[in-house]
Amino acid sequence: MDLLNTLLDKGLRRELPTRDEALAVLATSDDELLDVVAAAGKVRRQWFGRRVKLNYLVNLKSGLCPEDCSYCSQRLGSKAEILKYTWLKPDQASEAAAAGLAGGAKRVCLVASGRGPTDRDVDRVSDTIKAIKDQNEGVEVCACLGLLSDGQAERLRDAGADAYNHNLNTSESTYGDITTTHTYADRVDTVQKAHAAGLSACSGLIAGMGESDEDLVDVVYALRALDPDSVPVNFLIPFEGTPLAKEWNLTPQRCLRILAMVRFVCPDVEVRIAGGREVHLRTMQPLALHLANSIFLGDYLTSEGQAGKADLDMIADAGFEVEGTGEVTLPEHRATAHAGCGSHAGGGCGPCGSADREPPRKEPVSEARTDLVSVRRRGAGTDLAPNA
């Protein structure tokens, strides 16, 4: 179809699609789905070959967050029965990270609940980064600690952090419906602080919160403008005890179309399938590897993922290979750019909002698969072995 030929050509040239083209990807039919995956897959292979980067999450501090993000099981007022614990000690965090690295991960993502770190928290995380790097040569470390104050990104960089994650999550026009304790602009500011400090910026979205196609395109275009090196695509896990517990709006086909749209808009960026892939992609996960070049290995922050061995088998069976520690993730034109943070390709586009919105288009979901939502009870913060 002409749309896919156009998008393929633009993706190979790192040229930004039009908003109408991005929306058209989300509107394709199930009969066209394999054609969509094939076209986006060619773009993915152009810039990343058949490599799959493995990332491993370590939840440094779980639960008891003062923010009211509706999607989050750790939010203020959450009744989700998740693990709750205060800061892991550096040696505990390093031990947890070692399990993921032994399983094939090359990046460790250190995450802590909360609005943002205090200076003491930055010191604590800095000690943890040093402990992990001292014991694991070549490991990448990404910190995700919430909103950053001036100077904190620089301190994390000096401690050895390679990247900082802070997701935009949804469009600017709908952000206030999801969170009221901070703003969309606060999130943009933190991504910009990380970028300015020379950290590799990591910022993504959450799909499945009842948003429209326009909202999804808005947030992905806003991400393109921020120029992160990696874009995690999360699919909402509707935890019981959170305001979005009844939002089961995704099908495997919908998830694949979203990933394809992200790949076309961000062709040369590390696109990561993040939380919720097991819940919503289910048996279609291998197809998603043709669109994304990065996944999390094992469990997530408060939910369990599929077995780490199953992740590795899936990658191999689908004809892909795990990216080695010595391999550079990003294409050369991004990896060699200033401070390793990539370069703006093909002209960015600012956040595009529209006052006149169509109602969210929800695809038919046969049944809410609540049986696939499993609260994490192992790994960091417990006495049980992690899943890696």
Instruction: Give the CA angle between residues 182, 188, 189 to the nearest 5°.
Output: 85
Whether the pLDDT of residue 359 is over 80: the answer is no
Decide: 67 and 75 in contact? Cβ < 8 Å: yes
Active-site entry in 14, 69, 157, 266: 69
Cα–Cα dist 218/203, whole Å: 14
Active-site entry in 272, 277, 334, 376: 272
Whether the pLDDT of residue 350 is over 60: the answer is no
Active-site entry in 14, 107, 202, 224: 202
Confidence band (pLDDT; 50, 70, 90) for 346?
Answer: very low
Known catalytic residue at 69 = yes
pLDDT digits (tens, 9 = 90+) for 91-119: 999 999 999 999 999 999 999 999 999 99
Kindly report the number of other CB atoms within 10 A of residue 356's CB atom.
Answer: 5
What is the end-to-end Cα distance of the chain in Å, rounded?
A: 41
pLDDT digits (tens, 9 = 90+) for 160-197: 999 999 999 999 999 999 999 999 999 999 999 999 99
**For a pLDDT cut of 90, what percent of the chain falls above it?**
79
pLDDT digits (tens, 9 = 90+) for 15-44: 999 999 999 999 999 999 999 999 999 999
pLDDT digits (tens, 9 = 90+) for 53-84: 999 999 999 988 999 999 999 888 888 888 89
Mean pLDDT of 381-386: 82
Paired tokens of 83: 């693990």
Confidence band (pLDDT; 50, 70, 90) for 311?
Answer: very high
Known catalytic residue at 341 = no
* DSSP at 230: E
Active-site entry in 72, 144, 266, 341: 72
Whether the pLDDT of residue 337 is over 80: the answer is no
Confidence band (pLDDT; 50, 70, 90) for 365?
Answer: low
Alpha-helical segments (H) within 27-181: 33-48, 90-102, 119-135, 152-158, 175-178
Active-site entry in 14, 44, 124, 142: 142
Q: In this predicted structure, what is the pLDDT of residue 78?
A: 84
Q: At what angle do helices 19-26 and 213-226 cross, to 10 degrees?
A: 130
Whether the pLDDT of residue 323 is over 90: the answer is yes
Known catalytic residue at 376 = no
Paired tokens of 166: 């802070």
Model pTM? 0.89
CA dihedral of residues 21, 26, 32, 33 (deg, nearest 10): 120
**For a pLDDT cut of 70, what percent of the chain falls above it?**
92
Known catalytic residue at 352 = no
pLDDT digits (tens, 9 = 90+) for 200-228: 999 999 999 999 999 999 999 999 999 99
Decide: 237 and 279 in contact? Cβ < 8 Å: yes
- Any idea which residue has 């100077």 for tokens? 151
Q: In this predicted structure, what is the pLDDT of residue 349?
A: 33
Residue 253's closest CA among 304, 291, 220?
Answer: 291
Q: In this predicted structure, what is the pLDDT of residue 383?
A: 78
Residue 55's closest CA among 148, 141, 172?
Answer: 141
Instruction: Give the CA angle between residues 163, 164, 167 to the nearest 5°.
Output: 135
Active-site entry in 65, 255, 266, 341: 65
Integer angstrom CA distances of residue 386 from 96, 305, 309, 374: 7, 11, 12, 14
Known catalytic residue at 142 = yes
Paired tokens of 211: 């948003």
Mean pLDDT of 129-157: 96
Q: In this predicted structure, what is the pLDDT of residue 336?
A: 79
Cα–Cα dist 375/365, whole Å: 23
Active-site entry in 14, 109, 277, 376: 109
Q: In this predicted structure, what is the pLDDT of residue 82?
A: 86
The partner residues of 375 in beta bridges, in order of sequence, read 303
Decide: 157 and 197 in contact? Cβ < 8 Å: yes
If you average pLDDT over every residue of the chain, what do you get? 90
Q: In this predicted structure, what is the pLDDT of residue 77?
A: 83
Decide: 223 and 203 in contact? Cβ < 8 Å: yes
**Which residue would you say has higher pLDDT here, 300 or 158?**
158
Known catalytic residue at 109 = yes
Confidence band (pLDDT; 50, 70, 90) for 363?
Answer: low
